[in-house]
Amino acid sequence: MSSTTPAPIVEQVKGHTDPAAALVSGSSTFVPIQTRSERPTSYDPDDFGVPTGREVNWKHTPVARLATLFTDEETEVGDDLGVVYDLEATGAFLPESTGHDAPVRGEVFAPEDLPSAIAWKRCANALHHRIPQGVELDEPLRIRMRGVGADRHANAHLILEAMPHSRGTIILDHTGSAQYAQNVEIVVRDGAHLTVVSVQRWDDDAIHLSAHQARVERDGFLRHIVVSFGGGIVRVNPSLELAGPGAEGEMYGLAFADAGQHLESQVYLHHKGPHTRGDVLYKGALQGADARTVWIGDVLIGPDATGTDSYEANRNLVLTEGARADSIPNLEIETGDIQGAGHASATGRFDEEQLFYLQARGIPEEEARRLVVLGFLTEIVQKIGDDELEERLIAAIEDELAGETAR
Evaluated on CA atoms 109, 112, 116, 118, the torsion sign reads positive
Residue type, position 45, single letter: P
Q: What values do phi and psi take at 117, rounded to 5?
A: -65, -40
* 314-321 mean pLDDT: 93
Check pLDDT > 60 for residue 3: no
* 365-386 mean pLDDT: 86
Residue type, position 256, single letter: F
* 177-193 mean pLDDT: 97
On whether residue 271 sits in a domain, the answer given is: yes
On whether residue 108 sits in a domain, the answer given is: yes
Q: What values do phi and psi take at 253, rounded to 5?
A: -150, 150
Q: Which of 43, 45, 36, 44 is nearest to 15 (CA)?
A: 36
- State the pLDDT at residue 1: 39
Check pLDDT > 90 for residue 293: yes
Structural domain total, the chain: 1
| pLDDT digits 0-9 by tens, 52-65 | 999 999 999 999 99
* 163-179 mean pLDDT: 97
- State the pLDDT at residue 13: 38
Check pLDDT > 60 for residue 288: yes
- State the pLDDT at residue 75: 57
β-bridge mates for residue 227, sequence order = 199, 254
Least confident of 69-73, 74-78, 254-258, 271-275: 74-78
On whether residue 6 sits in a domain, the answer given is: no
On whether residue 378 sits in a domain, the answer given is: no
On whether residue 391 sits in a domain, the answer given is: no
Residue type, position 148, single letter: V
Question: What is the residue range of 325's domain?
Answer: 65-350
On whether residue 173 sits in a domain, the answer given is: yes
On whether residue 319 sits in a domain, the answer given is: yes
Residue 283 and residue 316: Cα distance in Å, rounded?
6
| pLDDT digits 0-9 by tens, 354-367 | 777 777 888 887 78
Q: Which of 174, 175, 401 is nearest to 288 (CA)?
A: 401
Residue 407 and residue 402: Cα distance in Å, rounded?
9
* 96-114 mean pLDDT: 93
* 113-128 mean pLDDT: 95
On whether residue 2 sits in a domain, the answer given is: no
pTM for the complete prediction?
A: 0.89
- State the pLDDT at residue 33: 56
Pairing of strands 23-25, 28-30: antiparallel
Check pLDDT > 90 for residue 91: no
